[in-house]
Amino acid sequence: MQDFHYTRARALLSNAEEIVSAETVTAAVKNVAAVLNQRFDNDETGAFPLVLGVMGGAVVFTGNLLPQLNFPLEFDYIHVTRYGDLDRGGEIVWKVIPRQDVTGRTIIVVDDILDEGETLAHVKQRLLDMGAAEVILAVFADKDLGRAKPVQADIVGLSIPNRFVVGFGMDAHGYWRNLPGLWVIRDTDKQVEAPAA
């Protein structure tokens, strides 16, 4: 089984195309940090935002972003997924719900990608229903679908084309979240199925 995963992960990437370089990724994260610092570094209301990373995809973006933020904040994560092992979204599954009291607080939700927008629309509504005063959506990538989404991000690192990407926290079958740039896997390389458990 280990051999299967190693071989499949390598095969998926073997013909993949890098569409965003690691350098561009780094610059995009820096821009997101600058926008948040601009808003909160000199905040006269003494806002003490709660930053919520949306696991698992946000793990890399969050880890790169947090050390660049200059203002007092609290961090926690939520875990929501709707793609699983597929490259099409399905039903939203909450694995870890917000644990703090968010009543009256400013929440910065950090996620890797706004694709169809279903996940973040749902997350935002849940936080508002729980009493959050403000929910700011900060995404690393906003996929250009050419149509309206149920929610818009307040802060976007990069706008990307309508392709299924891997890297910088985003996976294909659980692989390659660790890539520092963004890659598109060739359709014919996606066909290998995992052996039955």
Ligand X SMILES: O=P(O)(O)OC[C@H]1O[C@H](OP(=O)(O)OP(=O)(O)O)[C@H](O)[C@@H]1O
164 binding ligand GUN? (CB under 6 A): yes
End-to-end CA distance of the chain: 9
- Phi and psi at 73, nearest 5°, equal -155, 170
User: Segment 44-103, which members bind ligand GUN (CB under 6 A)?
Assistant: 83
142 binding ligand X? (CB under 6 A): no
Q: Tell me which residue has tokens 């820096």.
A: 30
Cβ-closest residue to ligand X?
Answer: 57
171 binding ligand X? (CB under 6 A): yes
111 binding ligand X? (CB under 6 A): yes
Bond into 146 cis (ω within 30): no
Structure tokens at 112: 């890797």
134 vs 105: CA distance, rounded Å: 7
Nearer residue to ligand GUN within complex by CB, 71 or 175: 175
Which letter does DSSP use for residue 72 in this model? -
Instruction: Figure out which of the listed residues 78, 108, 170, 185 binds ligand GUN, where binding follows CB under 6 A.
Output: 170
**DSSP assignments along 128-170, one per residue:** HHTT-SEEEEEEEEEE--SS--SS--SEEEEEE-SS-EEBTTB
Catalytic residue among 111, 112, 115, 142: 115
- State the minimum distance, in angstroms, from the CB of residue 90 to ligand GUN: 11
The amino acid occupying position 58 is A
Residue 115 is among the residues annotated as catalytic for this protein: yes
87 binding ligand X? (CB under 6 A): no
- Phi and psi at 155, nearest 5°, equal -135, 130
Instruction: Figure out which of the listed residues 22, 24, 35, 116 binds ligand X, where binding follows CB under 6 A.
Output: 116
Q: Which one of ligand GUN, ligand X, none interacts with residue 71, CB within 5 to 8 A by kind?
A: none
The contact mask relative to ligand GUN for 100-139 (x = CB under 6 A, - = no) is -------------x-x------------------------
Are residues 177 and 112 in contact, defined by beta-carbon separation less than 8 angstroms? no
- Phi and psi at 190, nearest 5°, equal -90, -5
Are residues 79 and 21 in contact, defined by beta-carbon separation less than 8 angstroms? no
Contact segment (CB under 6 A) with ligand X among 25-33, 41-49, 96-104, 108-116 equals: 108-116
Binding residues for ligand GUN, per CB under 6 A? Answer: 83, 113, 115, 164-166, 170-171
